[in-house]
Structure 1
Amino acid sequence: MTPLIRKLLAVAFFLPLGALPEQANAQTPQPAPADTTHKYENPGGVSQGKKPFLKSKGFRAAIVPAVLIGYGASTINGHGLYSSYDAHNDIRRVFGSYRTHVDDYLQWAPYLEIGGVLLAGVDSRDDRVNLALIVLKSEAIMLSTVYVIKTLTAIERPDQSNNLSFPSGHTAQAFLAASIVHTEFRDKSQWYGIGAYTIATSVAALRMINDKHWQSDVVAGAGVGILSAHLAYLSHRNRWGRKPIGRDVSAMPLWSPSGGMGMSVTWRPK
């Protein structure tokens, strides 16, 4: 074998071996460079500012009650285009001396509707514990608000029984419960809320027919009831009733010859 042939064979043998590292490196995927063109855009959909005031939850929760309370206050006694005195005269002309106690019971009917719908298997928006807490909070807000306004205004009832006419507590109670019905079941059917508000409106009408309240009282009372429910929902954070308490609290009986019997309670707060 000539020297020239030996050199050619050596080059042909070592050239592929020398190229293997480069081929291996070429097959290894290289990470793509980081994309920094969108680094200051809204990551994860996080809000970059407050919503406009007209679209905020507070405005939407307060606008209807504010209109009702404002209109009711504007018609106290003989004020307004259609005053409480005008409405009272028209009601007495139509219904005369008719009286009934149905409104004393009907004010609670929306709550009975909640119980009936739940028993029928329709799920409410909130679980049972949170729904009960919202009801209690709403009632506390409404009762305290009605009491304070009644005491400060001291307006005499149409039947002259006392000076606690404005606003109507019965109407506030009925519209508060109706607002809760609407909020809890509106995703299932709007008819639940329509039925509850129809009952509440009937309570307002009966309070005037029974000569217990002026027009101003029942309109403002409806606003107070709705606002109380809205405030309870806005301030509620759904922190209760999410998990059974057994997951967070455990108890174990203990006994020792020197100390006798006892109980060990362990609490694991989230």
Structure 2
Amino acid sequence: MMLRSILSVSLLAQLALLPQLAAAQTPTTADTTHKYQNPTGVSAAGKKSFFKSKGFRASIVPAVLIGYGASTIYGSGLYSSYDAKRDIRRTFGTYRNHIDDYLQWAPYLEIPGVLLAGVDSRNDRLNLALVVAKSELIMLGSVYIVKTLSQIQRPDSSNHLSFPSGHTAQAFLAASIVHAEFRDKSQWYGVGAYALATSVAAFRMINNKHWESDVVAGAGFGILSAHVAYLSHRNRWGRKPGGRGIGDTSFVPMWSPAGGTGLCFTWRPK
């Protein structure tokens, strides 16, 4: 009788422990209520702030240039366009030349020269040509729209398409591409290109074709156009220069006494 009671108690004790044993052996279910809260898997601390983003870094300098240029239109600003014209005329008088019409393309001439010297560009020749073409389209479109809408009269009163300077935008666009392509090799390539672009801006004012506001804003439009083209380009970055798989390509500015300025694209298939 006592043995049967002991067995009964033991059986009841084992039955009472079954739920606890089952709970111990059952794996814990993962909490999926917040599974889509951070789908990229990047921690909040690892995300870049807006001020460190590529878009902000690419636009801050052009924005400052365009903003400052707009603030000095005509007689506005601490050192207005009228003030700059007065000082330039006092220094250079009636001196004029046409070198700025050709010098605006000069930064581009660095590219074939550096490549022929054996220095590799950031991108292969095809992608470099695509970036140049995209940059030119962005710059020409934006400058034309702003010129048409702003209707600022030129210093020589020839028309109302003064702001911003297209020559300056062209020169700084080319300088920005040279800087982006060869800055990993040497910063001096970019320094030389920007020096040429700055001389274009100076000659546009000396030749009485543009105000100070026009050339400063034009520099901003040129730099911004190049940055937007690079940020939006997705055609196989990082390939070896030389047009692998399609042949040798080149994209350079050209000038002819009879036909004026232009761009020349050549392709030599393999």
Q: Same fold (TM over 0.5)?
A: yes
CA contact (8 A) 2:123 2:237 kept: no
* Rounded Cα–Cα distance in structure 2 between residues aligned with 1:220 and 1:110: 19
Q: Deviations over 1:22-46 (max 9, x none)?
A: xxxxxxxxxxxxxxxxxxxxxxx97
CA contact (8 A) 2:122 2:238 kept: no
1:71 aligns with 2:68: yes
Q: Deviations over 1:88-111 (max 9, x none)?
A: 011000000000111110000011
Tell me: CA distance 1:234–1:93, structure 2 relative to 1, closer, same or farther (3 Å): same
Tell me: CA distance 1:47–1:100, structure 2 relative to 1, closer, same or farther (3 Å): farther
Report deviation, 1:48: 3.7
Normalising by structure 2, we get a TM-score of 0.72
- Specify the alignment match of 2:113 in structure 1: 116
Normalising by structure 1, we get a TM-score of 0.72
* Rounded Cα–Cα distance in structure 2 between residues aligned with 1:101 and 1:196: 19
- Specify the alignment match of 2:261 in structure 1: none
* Rounded Cα–Cα distance in structure 1 between residues aligned with 2:177 and 2:117: 18
Alignment of 1:127-166 (within 5 A): 127-166=124-163
Tell me: CA distance 1:184–1:46, structure 2 relative to 1, closer, same or farther (3 Å): farther
1:212 aligns with 2:195: no
* Rounded Cα–Cα distance in structure 1 between residues aligned with 2:155 and 2:149: 18
Aligned residue among 77, 82, 85 for 1:80: 77
1:190 aligns with 2:187: yes
Identity %: 79
Unaligned 5+ runs, structure 2: 1-39, 248-270
Aligned residue among 174, 186, 189 for 1:177: 174
Report deviation, 1:210: 0.1
Report deviation, 1:239: 3.5
Please identify runs of 4+ aligned residues in structure 1 that moved more than 2 A.
45-50, 238-243
Unaligned 5+ runs, structure 1: 1-44, 247-270
Q: CA RMSD in A?
A: 1.9
- The secondary structure found in structure 2 opposite 1:126 is coil
Max Rg structure: 1
Aligned residue among 98, 101, 105 for 1:104: 101
* Rounded Cα–Cα distance in structure 1 between residues aligned with 2:42 and 2:187: 30
Report deviation, 1:238: 2.3
Tell me: CA distance 1:150–1:123, structure 2 relative to 1, closer, same or farther (3 Å): same
